[in-house]
Structure 1
Amino acid sequence: MPLDFTAIDFETANGSAASACSVGLIKVRNGRVVDRVGWLIQPPFPHDEFNEWNTRIHGLRAQDVVGAAGWVEQLPDLVAFAEGDHLVAHNAGFDMGVIRAACAATALECPEFSYLCSLQVARKTYNLDSYRLPVAAMAAGFEDFAHHDALADAEACAAIVVHAAKRHDVATIHDLSAITGARLGRIGAAVAA
Structure 2
Amino acid sequence: MTTDLSFAAFDVETANPKRGSICSIGVAIVRGGVRVATHTWLCRPPAPIGEFSPYNVRVHKITPADIAGQPGFAQRLPEVLAVIGGLPVVAHNAAFDMDNLTRACSFTGTDLPDWMYGCTYAWSKRQLSLEKYRLPYVAGALGVTLDDHHHAGADAAATADIAIGLAALAGANSLADLATANGSQLQRLGRARHRAGR
Q: Same fold (TM over 0.5)?
A: yes
Q: How does 1:13-162 map to 2 (within 5 A)?
A: 13-162=15-164
* Contact 1:134 1:143 survives alignment (8 Å): no
**1:144 Cα shift?**
4.6
Tell me which residue corresponds to 1:4: 6
Task: Deviation per CA, 1:119-161: give whole Å up to 9, x if none.
Answer: 0111112111010100101112113521101000001111110
By how many angstroms is 1:35 displaced? 1.4
Any idea what the Cα deviations from partners look like across 1:9-51, whole Å, max 9, x if unmatched? 0000011221100011000001101111111111121111001
- Taking a change above 3 Å as real, the CA distance of residues 182 and 134 of structure 1, as seen in their structure-2 partners, is farther
TM-aligned CA deviation for residue 184 of structure 1: 1.4
Task: State the AA in 1 paired with 2:108.
Answer: T
- Contact kept, 8 Å, 1:117 with 1:182, in 2: the verdict is no
Instruction: Give the Cα–Cα distance (whole angstroms) in 2 for the partners of residues 131 and 182 of structure 1.
Output: 18
Residue in 2 that maps onto 1:180: 182
Aligned equivalents of 2:145 and 2:39: distance in 1? 20
Which amino acid in the other structure matches residue 139 of structure 2? A
Report the CA distance between 1:97 and its aligned residue.
Answer: 0.8
CA shift at 1:183, angstroms? 3.7
Partners of 2:183 and 2:147 in 1: CA distance: 28
8 A contact 2:146–2:158 mirrored in 1: no
**Which deviations, in whole Å up to 9, do the C-alpha atoms of 1:48-98 show, x marking residues without a partner?**
100111111111111110101111111111111111111110000111111
Is contact 2:146–2:155 with CA below 8 Å preserved after alignment?
no
By how many angstroms is 1:172 displaced?
A: 0.6
Query: How far apart, in 1, do the equivalents of 2:53 and 2:117 lie?
Result: 28
Provide the secondary structure at the position in 2 that maps to 1:50: coil
TM-score normalised per structure 2: 0.92
8 Å CA contact retained: 1:120, 1:182: no
Q: Is the Cα contact below 8 Å between 2:28 and 2:38 reproduced in 1?
A: yes
Q: Is the 1:8–1:24 contact (alpha carbons within 8 Å) kept by the matching residues of 2?
A: yes
Aligned to 1:171: 173
CA contact (8 A) 1:5 1:88 kept: yes
- Secondary structure, counterpart of 2:127 in structure 1: coil
Percent identical residues: 38
**Runs of 4+ deviating beyond 6 Å:** none
The runs of 5 or more residues in structure 2 that have no matched partner are 193-198
The CA RMSD over aligned residues, in Å, is 1.4
In 2: Cα distance, 1:129 partner to 1:12 partner: 26
State the TM-score, normalized to the length of structure 1: 0.94
Gaps (5+ residues) in structure 1? none
